[in-house]
Structures are given as structure tokens and as C-alpha cells.
Structure 1
């Protein structure tokens, strides 16, 4: 009788209609591929694991280290080709549609009843394929953040910069005070993150024409030359040990006061939280100079793969999708991850000042047209184009190449399909 009541409750919730008593008792294993491996990220995905375990599912974690997910995507391709696709995998942006075109994903519409009215339109369309939901989004990260160690800023006698001129003044004061001005990692996606921040500082319209539309006139403009010039000047405030450094190690430099500032998306905030640092007291999160009214978004989603012998989503896949989009999970996940809920209307009472500012700025940017997808984090272009543009920026930042030749190379890379 208890099993029947449980099945009835799960059926009413849209999770296990048609399942047998033995299927409920024999927990379905859900294998999950992702690249959340840093401290704050691990805590965040642990919330989902705990929620699924409480629902009676067996969680099989397949974490592949690497902040931008390149290694994870390679592992995923190997699994799918070998006929051993995971239950769900962390994928975002145009890659969702690319996987859908391969005919290997399953729709999850049966648990997506209220999603459309509770998601930003720009996000809602990303997780659709052929008019059906094939992915469940976790949270929204703002990429264009500048993190500042407050003690370092106070020691340097500076103020939070809102323009590049002010930024360089603060950096010079930190340097004079014996503080490394900028903490920076040494991976291509980190190079591109900084570069796209500077592109955005030239205006959301400029960013969209250059990075979303790949407009050749914009890509070869004097303003783009200025972008590379600014990036080169920022590089003058890096330390010599950045080669190969992971992003969270650069964040740690700001946390412990070895460096004053870092350009990084708000997943870095999870590292500050993990070190018991408080926003506004120990550190400051500010929009990258010149980007106050704009918002580069990075949205992590899980897509759901066809399982052996299954054409439709399994009960475990539906439970996973439903859990991800529940207001309770959205809140708890983002509190650990440093992000904000992708679901609109989730209460922000428990969030810190940085997250509240992020949510407020997001709503403003959505209405004003300043809500734009991140190139560095897989939201704006497919792998081939993004990879070619990344190569250009990384070459520039690791050589003495001049800005004009970098711009010419960038325009050519944007033609890659």
C-alpha cells in the first residue's frame, strides 16, 4: 500500500507515471557528467546529488576537471559514440542545439509546464530544440565582474573604478603599495574572458555586432584596435607566474591579499564564500569598468541523452529536470555556486549584496537590450568559431603581436564555421 501511495504521489508530480512497484524499489542510477570541481562548485552540485538521493535515485558522478569544460566535452563525445551516453551532461549555448541535431537527446516537456513564464526569453530559447525542451538550466552567472580585495583597495587609497582611466590609477596605487594589482590565470578561456569584458566596455551594441553578429566592419574597426590596446595595458599588471594557473588559484590570490583585483565571472564568489569572506566587508564585486549597464550571461544547463532501449526520458531524467528548476533547488544551488537563480521570481533574501546587485542589473539589462551571451563561456558562438577567435586572443596575450594585426586575424577567425 505504501508503494502504491508513493507511486501515486510521484505520478501526480509528473515524475513516475506508468512505473511499476519494482521500478520504484529498484532505484534508477543517474550518471551525470559535469566540470564542477572547485570548492564552491563541488558544494553546489552536491546539493543536486543530495536532492536526487533523497528521491531514491543513485547518483553516479562523472566530474571532469577544467573550468571551461573542454575536457568534459571530449569525454562526452567518447561516451556517446561508444553507446554509453550519460543520463545528463552539463552543456550550454549553441552546443545544446548541435547535440539535438544528432538525434541523441530526449524532450522533457512533461515537467516544463511553467518554465516559459519563469525564464528570461534569451535563456528559454537556448534550451529548446524543434520546439521542445531538451535542457534544464541551473543558474545565471554574470561574467563581467571585477573582484577587489577591500583591504588592498583601502591600503592603496583608491576607489572602485568605473572607467579604464580610474582602473589604471587604482592599479598603479596598488603596485606602489607593494600589492600585485591583477591576479590572472593562464588558460585560453581566461584570456578570452578578459578580452570580451573589454569589448563589452565599448557598449552592448558594439559587443553584439562584434561577437554575436560577427560583423566584419565592427571587427576591423578602430574601436576594436582600442580593445586590444586596453587588454595589452592591463597585461602590464599581471605577475609572471600566471602561465597554466587555474582561475580559482587566481581568485585565492585576491582572497588572501596577495593580489588586489581579478576579472572573473561570479562563480568566483563561491570561492570567497568558501573562505568565509563577506561581500562588502572583505571584498568588493563591481561591474568591469564601462559595463555597469550591461550583463554578459553564462548559463549552465543539463541536457538529457537517450538511454539504451529508451526513446523517451526516463523517470530519473524527468526527476532531475524537475528538481533543477524547482525554486528551492535554484536558491540553494546558487547560494553555493555564487550565481543567481535562472528562474525568475526566486526570493533573494538569503543572497549577499553581490548577488542582489547581479539580479537587479540582470533585470535592467534584459529590458534595455544589454543582456548579451558570453563568447568565452560557450553562449555566443559554436565551438569552431569560438575556438578560432580564442586562438587569436591567446596568441596576442602570449606574444608581442601588435593590435592591428590581431584585429585582422580576429576578423578572419570570425569567418570560421
Structure 2
């Protein structure tokens, strides 16, 4: 009897241990479009295979502003999710509030410091400790095009600078098609604007103006020229652009209604999800004048402090899964980005991704690798929001002069 009771006790301990291993993991994200939703489903599968319960907390809105609002209310009420999609300087702001978990035990076990470029690892840390997990690297300064539309309009290849671009845009307009598919939302306006600034002024000017927020750069002639170029692009968009979601603008390029779109490589995920072939159905190139530069946007999940061993174990498993080779490959193939993890096998990736990977490495050596201001990687959320609004107001209101817009952007850059 004694032996049986010992066995029963041992079995009870095993059962308790197994129950403690499995936990619920609630993930707040804003990946709701085709290629993105497919990627999230893969992460859910990996977690469920480990015995955890996945609780999806998706908040629509491509720029993530809606998700940020929802997250604040959850954290303030003392009920944070296990992980939330947060990136760039916003990670540091959340960490400073004392609500993020120290993920160093997982990071050390999984050797994250040796698997990540230092510039990326530093963004994921607060006071030397990992508090967030990177998912991928997006290149923001892409220009996408429909090969059939370019052929129909007599445009030979992708324009390499802004002068070539406007010549091509005129041909496309003449052919009765929309030159630029654009979604009129403030983050999309800012995405186009930063590529224009990079193409007109180069990486050093871009860094001075939109990363360091240097007043001399913001009020100078190069910024004036950037704003003039930006306004000129507006003339090649369609009247229905205001309020359009980015993936609907991508669909216009897919459906041969429009020629070009300025958007990060998450747009490629939409093409791929629709069965389109890069190099044949659609073309990719760096935005005009930016071939030797790379504006990066690293998606990441910040990990919040949780109570309970089961919840913490599920969170640790989620962190390890995000950085694992299986998810890094599947996710980035679906999303259109490239793995953030170094030394990944890129054999399954298309030519656009291979070019992105090559340029990422090369620009890191030349100084052309710069954080995206429009996508939360470069400046404080307050300054980013103020500049984004000023840029969008200029885009939407033709009565605002270039000089006035320049003054407004320079003033917005001082926002704390």
C-alpha cells in the first residue's frame, strides 16, 4: 500500500508538472491582412503543438495605432497580454514604466546575442536586459510595380531616380492608368515621404533630418526639394485614395489598375498570398534614388510581466518559438520580410528577399542602413506622431505651401 501511495503521489506530481508546463498565451497584434494573418496562424500552430492555449488579440489598423490605444487601457487596468506587438523607441518607453518582463533566461539559453545584429539586439533591450523579441527585418524603401502595366505604357524597367520616375508616371497617365496606388492614411503618407527624403537627400541627410531631427536639415534647401517632389507624386494618385487601406492599394497594382506603390516589403506578402510571381507579375526595386540605402523596420513583441508559472512558461516558449528557425522562415516567407536571425538559409526566398538580405548586410557597412522614422524605429512616438500629422496635412491640403509645410515639420520635430 505504501508503494502504491508513493506511486500515486509521484504520478500526481508528474500531472501537476505537466499542467504547469501548459499555459494560456494572449498575443496582441495588428496583423490582420492576408499574408500577415497566415503568418500569425503558423505561430499559433507552433504554440498549440507545445500544449499551450493561444488567445488571439488582433486589433485591425495597419499602422498599429489602434492596437497601442487598446494596449494602454489593458496595462493600466492591470490585465496585460503575454505579448504585444511593439517596436523601436516605444519598447524603451514601456520598459521604463516597469511593466515588461526580463527575458534574459530565454535569450541566454537560445544565444540571441550571437544570432542578432547588435543594432537590432540593442533595440530589444532595456538597461542591458532583453524585454522584447524581434520577428523580422522589413525594408521600407521599396517601390512595387505591375510588369504588365509598365509594358502597356511603354515604360522600360523600374525608374532609378525621381526624374526617371516622373517621365514613367506621365506615360502611365497617358495610357489611362493610375501611376501611383496610394492609401491616404497618415502613416502611408509618411512612408512615401521618408522614401522621398532618402532619395532626394541620401542617407546622411535622411539621418540628420528624420532621425536626429536636426533643425538645420529640416529647414534647409534639401528638405524643400523633398517636399516639392512629394507634392508632385500626389498628382499621380487617384481621387479615391483618401482613407484607403494599404493592402487595397497593393491590390490595385495586382489588378493592373495602377503601376507603382511605395510601401515596405509587407506588400510583397500580399502579392505572394495571391499567387503572383516576383519578376514576372510584379517587380521590386528600391524607391528612386535609394538603391544604396535601407530604411529598416523590425517587428517585435514586447513581453509583459505575468503572474503564475504556467503563464510565464508559455511566454518563454513563445519567445523561443518567435526566434526559432522554423517560424523565422515560415513567417518571413509569408510576410515578405527577411529573417532577423543571422545565418538563416535563404534558399526558399525569392529574388526580392535575397536582394533585401544582401542590401541589409551591405548598407550596414556603408552607413546606408537607417531606421524608418515612419514606422516607429527612429524617434519618440510623440515626435513621430507630430511629424506624421504635419506631413499628412501637407499631402491632403494643396493650400498649404511648401514653405509652410517645412515650418510645420520643423516645429513638429521639437515635440517631446
Given that 1:146 and 1:262 are in contact with CA atoms closer than 8 Å, whether structure 2 keeps it comes out as yes
Aligned to 2:25: 30
Aligned to 1:64: 59
Q: SS at 1:60's partner residue?
A: strand
**1:257-272 equivalence runs, <5 A:** 257-272=256-271
Shift of the alpha carbon at 1:309? 5.6
Q: SS at 2:27's partner residue?
A: strand
Aligned to 1:340: 338
* 5+ long unaligned stretches in structure 2: 1-12
Q: SS at 1:302's partner residue?
A: strand
Shift of the alpha carbon at 1:24? 2.2
Given that 1:88 and 1:302 are in contact with CA atoms closer than 8 Å, whether structure 2 keeps it comes out as yes
Aligned to 1:350: 348
Question: Which has the larger Rg?
Answer: 2
Shift of the alpha carbon at 1:21? 3.9
The alignment's TM-score, normalised by the length of structure 1, stands at 0.93
**1:161-172 equivalence runs, <5 A:** 161-172=159-170
Give the aligned length.
398
- CA distance in 1 between partners of 2:311 and 2:50 (Å): 17
CA deviation profile, 1:203-252 (whole Å, cap 9, x unmatched): 00001101111111000001100000000111110000011100000000
Shift of the alpha carbon at 1:20? 6.3
**How big is the alpha-carbon RMSD for the aligned residues of Structure 1 and Structure 2?**
1.3
Q: 1:133 aligns with which of 126, 130, 133?
A: 130
Query: Aligned pair 1:86/2:81, yes or no?
Result: yes
Given that 1:181 and 1:260 are in contact with CA atoms closer than 8 Å, whether structure 2 keeps it comes out as yes
Change (3 A) 1:117 1:222: same
Aligned to 2:113: 116
Given that 2:116 and 2:341 are in contact with CA atoms closer than 8 Å, whether structure 1 keeps it comes out as yes
- CA distance in 1 between partners of 2:15 and 2:358 (Å): 47
CA deviation profile, 1:16-58 (whole Å, cap 9, x unmatched): xxx9642423630000000000000000111111100101100
CA deviation profile, 1:321-354 (whole Å, cap 9, x unmatched): 1111112211111001111001111111001111
- CA distance in 2 between partners of 1:50 and 1:179 (Å): 42
Aligned to 1:371: 369
Given that 1:106 and 1:313 are in contact with CA atoms closer than 8 Å, whether structure 2 keeps it comes out as no
- CA distance in 2 between partners of 1:42 and 1:22 (Å): 34
**1:13-412 equivalence runs, <5 A:** 21-25=15-19, 27-113=22-108, 114-158=111-155, 159-201=157-199, 202-308=201-307, 314-400=312-398, 401-412=400-411
- CA distance in 2 between partners of 1:49 and 1:71 (Å): 22
Given that 1:135 and 1:304 are in contact with CA atoms closer than 8 Å, whether structure 2 keeps it comes out as yes
- CA distance in 2 between partners of 1:23 and 1:317 (Å): 17
